Amino acid sequence: MTRTHSVRLATEADFDRIVDVVVEAFLRDPVYNYFGSLKEFIPKDRDSQEKEHRKRWAQFLLKLCVLGGGRVTVLVEHGETSPEEESERIVGVAEWLPPNKRVALWRVRTMVKAGIIVMLRAWGLPGLLRCGFEWMDSTEQTMLKAFQKRNLGKPEATWHLLQIAVLPECQGKGYMSKLFREAFDHAPDAIFTLEATTAGSRDKYAHIGFEGIGVVTLGKGKSDTDGFKAKGESAVGVDAYPMVKLVK
């Protein structure tokens, strides 16, 4: 059956499906593995505590985006209605925070509403320190220095990507590019920023027009390149890549 596709704004009714898409897309992500203090990859074909924790993380970021006044778009595939197949299927999502809408850690009420207590129970204090301070502080400082050096203003004044995800079986169809293009069309005169969590995603974003402005290494001495607990020579940490797309 031939399917068409389109990008639209997400509704609250889409949230559960959005979380499922994000979990599947980021199941092997090294930075998220590091946040969760994992020792091995999360199994795709069965439920596990670690998979549930990854789901809670996806829910937390989505709620944080919505509570912060963010813009969430979904890419949907359309097909003919039949008893066996959905007429519309969400296969991709992008979560954006508008300029000057960053959600600071000290905004306790917002953090609690987003589910920070649930994340504390899931990952413990070490996990929250890794994503809330080690990750955020390092990437924000890298971004700030790059912006100051190039007289680009403040990083907070950009459209910032919290997450973008496409189901693994739908990757390679140009869906991620379509999600980005929709955002660029929505704010044609804006600067966009993001952090790539793998070298592969970094290269894909570069193809769309983003440029790297540094490398942030997390977990050096504590994790290997997959984000798993490690010691000794293999504990080189995981790399993340702050990136920016300027106005042309």
| CA atoms of 142 and 137, how far apart (whole Å) | 9
The pLDDT tens digits of the residues spanning 207-244 come to: 999 999 999 999 999 999 999 999 999 999 999 999 99
Query: 229 pairs with which residues across the strands?
Result: 223
Report percent pLDDT > 70 for the chain. Answer: 96
* Residues with Cβ within 8 Å of residue 49, at least 6 apart in sequence: none
- The per-residue pLDDT for range 96-140, each reduced to its tens digit, is 999 999 877 778 888 899 889 999 999 999 998 999 889 988 999
| 4-245: CATH topology | Aminopeptidase (3.40.630)
Residue 69: partners with Cβ closer than 8 Å, 6 or more residues away: 97, 98, 101
Beta bridge partners of 28: none
Residue 8, SS3 per DSSP: strand
Tell me which amino acid residue 68 is. G
The token duo for 235 is 């504990």
0.75 exceeded by pTM: yes
DSSP code per residue over 89-157: EEEEEEEEEPTT----TT-HHHHHHHTHHHHHHHHHHHHHHIIIIIIHHHHHHHHHHHHHHTT---GGG
pLDDT of residue 82 exceeding 70, the answer is: no
Start-to-end C-alpha separation, the chain: 39
* Structure-token pair, residue 11: 């509704």
The answer to whether residue 180 scores a pLDDT higher than 50 is yes
